[in-house]
Amino acid sequence: MIARPQHNTATRPPHVRSRKSFVHSPMLVFYELTRACDLVCLHCRACAQKRRDPNELDTTQSKRLIDQLGEFPDPPMLILTGGDPLKRDDIYELIEYAVDSGIDVSITPSATPLVNRDSIRRLRDAGISRMAISVDGADAATHDANRGVAGSFDHSMNVLQIARELGVQTQINTTLTPANVDQIETMGERFGELDIALWSVFFLIPVGRATEMERLNADECEDAFARLHAQAQLQPFMVKTTEAPHYRRYVIQNTTKQTDAAPRGFIPAGVNDGKGVMFVSHTGEIFPTGFLPIHCGDFPQQNIVDVYQKSPTFRMLRDSDQLEGKCGVCEFRNVCGGSRARAFGVTGNPMAEEPDCNYIPPAFHGSPPCPPSLVPTA
């Protein structure tokens, strides 16, 4: 078989979006191909199982879903996730189909024996843009305890090395908890040696198995933001947070136009649950994200473009005027807005104020807000 030409991701149009474009098009669509997975991660959103669900969308339906991505005014990036997407026999066929359709595709495989030199080569040849591997600590003891499988850390490190050798761009996803927050600097230094493009740091949402886990409190989040921001200046990779949009507020507050620039890759456009993001489950259920379990529609019965653009829940989540509590009067509400998934997970109200943010907006006390010139408007 002749390998497909490799795509030069450096020359691809960047997925740059503004808040205005989020009204009609997401920047990211996560498609949970399957919930089957051989790991038993403590924080698993999906409560993954060993076997595939017989009700999963089949190959034809998955291709139809990909077709509908192209119907958005600004076609999004597709992230294939799970469970473990490598549990699907048609994974390479679906990647090729999406790439041939002009869709940029990334994948988040589980660090099991299914991801190896052969499968990484096949992912590359199918046209994958980036592969994300989860690493939840600077050492095997910390990581393996969270993933529930001995040897997972060593395998993750090996996978990242193989991907580097094969020319596949990588990122590391880390779930930050009280068990590993003291390792931020050690992780940053170690990851800096792996030639990754991005470190995506996830702040826990009480959903799935994670409802039993302890998460960082508001002050601990603020301290973590400071340390992550420092790593963004020191390390060769970009740093972003997932389900912690208040990191953007921290970066803005601690970046001056006279002396600093925002970290590389910093996106102030306000991506949030249902705002620039949508999630399609293995059976076609549509949610704002995988961490915000408010059912908004069903594919293939409904068109995903219609659901994103017209669903009352999606429209509400994109309307910062509907934010409540201190988030509703915060001068950073359009670039941050707080995690809507965490608000829902903690209070049952997706528009409640962010529970794990210690910032008190001046307007919350009736004082003048931050000068508009200091808050990005893009």
User: Over the range 222-243, which residues count as b (16 or more CB within 10 Å of their CB) and which as e?
Assistant: bebbeebbebbeebebbbbbbb
Q: Is 364 domain-assigned?
A: no
Mean pLDDT score across all residues of the chain: 87
- Which pLDDT score is estimated for 281? 96
Q: Does 48 score more than 60 pLDDT?
A: no
**Beta carbons of 115 and 109 less than 8 angstroms apart:** yes
Domain that holds residue 208: 26-320
- Which pLDDT score is estimated for 226? 97
User: Mean pLDDT, to the nearest integer, of 96-125?
Assistant: 96
Q: Is 71 domain-assigned?
A: yes
Lowest-confidence pick of 12-26, 151-165, 235-249: 12-26
Q: Is 18 domain-assigned?
A: no
pTM of this structure: 0.88
Q: Does 375 score more than 80 pLDDT?
A: no
Cβ neighbours for 266, distance < 8 A, ≥ 6 positions apart? 240, 248, 251
CATH number reported for the structural domain that contains residue 240 in this entry: 3.20.20.70
- Which pLDDT score is estimated for 19? 62
How much of the chain, in percent, has pLDDT values that exceed 70? 83
User: Mean pLDDT, to the nearest integer, of 169-191?
Assistant: 96
- Which pLDDT score is estimated for 199? 97
**Beta carbons of 270 and 335 less than 8 angstroms apart:** yes
Residue from 113, 150, 111, 116 nearest 134 by CA? 111
Q: Is 115 domain-assigned?
A: yes
**Number of structural domains the chain divides into:** 1
Question: Does an H or E element contain 121, and which?
Answer: helix 117-126
Q: pLDDT class for 12, splitting at 50, 70, 90?
A: very low
- Which pLDDT score is estimated for 209? 59
Give the CA angle between residues 331, 247, 362 to the nearest 5°.
25
Q: pLDDT class for 45, splitting at 50, 70, 90?
A: very low
- Which pLDDT score is estimated for 187? 97
Q: Is 173 domain-assigned?
A: yes
Strands (E), the chain: 28-32, 77-81, 105-107, 130-134, 170-176, 198-203, 238-242, 277-280, 285-287, 297-298
User: 181 or 9, which is more confident?
Assistant: 181
Q: Is 33 domain-assigned?
A: yes
Residue whose pair of structure tokens reads 């136009």 in the numeric block: 257
Q: pLDDT class for 269, splitting at 50, 70, 90?
A: low
Q: Is 356 domain-assigned?
A: no
- Which pLDDT score is estimated for 374? 43
Q: Is 292 domain-assigned?
A: yes
Amino acid at 290: G
- Rounded Cα distance between 321 and 303, Å, is 27
